[in-house]
Amino acid sequence: MDPSALRYDFEHALLAMNRDEARRLLARVPGPPLAAIEALIVPSLARLGEGWERGQIALAQIYMGGRICEELVDTLLGSSQNERYGRPRMAIATIEDHHQLGKRIVSSALRGSGFQLIDYGVGTVDSIAARAVSDGIEILLLSALMLRSALRIRDVRTRLADRPIRVVVGGAPFIFDHALSREVGADAMATNAFHAVEVVRSLSQGSLPQGSLPQGAPWV
Ligand code: B12
């Protein structure tokens, strides 16, 4: 089936809140589950977001579309029962941002690649920074879908001062504006779950793949 036709049908299944149809269409995407999620769920929700911005789609439809996608992601990637620390010690969080899908997908992709991490859920600048320090975190992953929560990452960075904690960021605001990750003092940014695994793998080996390092990052 033509990918754009599949995406068109999937978006309409979400808008019609037709779970079964959405599941059936997602199952038609060839390749591993994460590829299906990146190919269908991520771009479809972004397009729903644009429709909302244009006033053509209601927040309630976005909410239900998000819920259906969460269920599909849980079905495909399994729920994150066995949260524990591994090497490097990693945690992921959002700062007062209830957009959880991106964080959920990145966490599963990292676990699926053999990494372990703890999901701090939705926190504040202070709670996330304090917990990262007390837990001895080496890589802190921060997801943001709203610009205001993306900008708060700078405050987390300040709270972490010169502790050896790498901050890796991601989410729509960093995709729209590639300079933003440097502005908030991130050590690295990744545009999707596959890229996130690459960045974490390289960071834990002391290097970074092309394009994931904000220009002029201090620690080079
Ligand atoms: C679904 C959705 C919701 C759902 C969330 C459901 C859920 N369970 O997550 C609900 C209905 C709850 C919601 C609420 C709101 N939303 Co909303 N939402 C969206 C929407 C349509 C899709 C977001 C999404 O889930 N995308 C799919 C995921 C998988 O993609 P992703 O997060 O980008 O993740 C990928 C990558 O970015 C990357 N990634 C993500 N995180 C990370 C982290 C790291 C470390 C790494 C390496 C990579 C990475 O990998 C992921 C996989 O590829 C966006 C539109 C958009 N363009 O994004 C608006 C959007 C984000 N929402 C917006 C707003 C304003 C709100 C509300 C304030 C609306 C309101 N008035 O109530 C509330 C805020 C609630 C809160 N306090 O958080 C605005 C934000 C504007 C801005 N610039 O700040 C957007 C952009 C819509 C718009 N166009 O205006 N929303």
What whole-number distance in Å separates Cα of residue 167 and Cα of residue 160?
A: 10
85: pLDDT strictly greater than 90: no
Q: What is the pLDDT of residues 139-179, one digit of tens each?
A: 999 999 999 999 999 999 999 988 999 999 999 999 999 89
Which CATH code is given to the segment(s) 90-204?
3.40.50.280
Check if the beta carbon of residue 170 is closer than 8 Å to that of residue 141: yes
Tell me the domain boundaries of the chain: 3-77, 90-204
Using a 6 Å cutoff on CB, does residue 37 contact ligand 1?
no
Say if ligand 1 is within 6 A of residue 192 CB.
yes
Which range has highest mean pLDDT (38-42, 170-174, 206-210, 216-220)? 170-174
pLDDT digits 0-9 by tens, 98-110: 899 999 999 989 9
Extract the tokens encoding 157.
Answer: 């960075």
pLDDT value at residue 211: 52
Identify which of 1-10, 69-78, 97-106, 127-136 has the greatest average pLDDT: 127-136
Ligand 1 centroid–CA 45 distance in Å is 8
For the CA of 100, the nearest atom of ligand 1: 9
Report the atom number in ligand 1 closest to the C-alpha of 46. Answer: 57
pLDDT range class, residue 208, cuts 50, 70, 90: low
* Confidence band for 212, pLDDT divided at 50, 70 and 90: low
| Atom of ligand 1 minimally distant from the CA of 200 | 47
% pLDDT > 90, the chain: 67
Three-state secondary structure call for residue 4: helix
Q: What is the mean pLDDT of the chain?
A: 88
> Is residue 15 within 6 Å of ligand 1 at its C-beta?
no
Residue that wins the pLDDT comparison between 13 and 206: 13
Closest of 212, 219, 204, 207 to residue 110, by C-alpha: 204
Instruction: Return d(Cα 172, Cα 191) in angstroms, integer.
Output: 8
Higher pLDDT, 75 or 1: 75
Residue 84 has a pLDDT of 62
Average pLDDT over residues 44-61: 90
Q: What is the CATH number of domain 3-77?
A: 1.10.1240.10
Predicted local distance difference test score (pLDDT) of residue 128: 98
Q: What residues contact 131, with CB distance under 8 A and at least 6 apart?
A: 91, 120, 123, 137
Task: Tell me the C-alpha distance between 57 and 72, whole Å.
Answer: 21
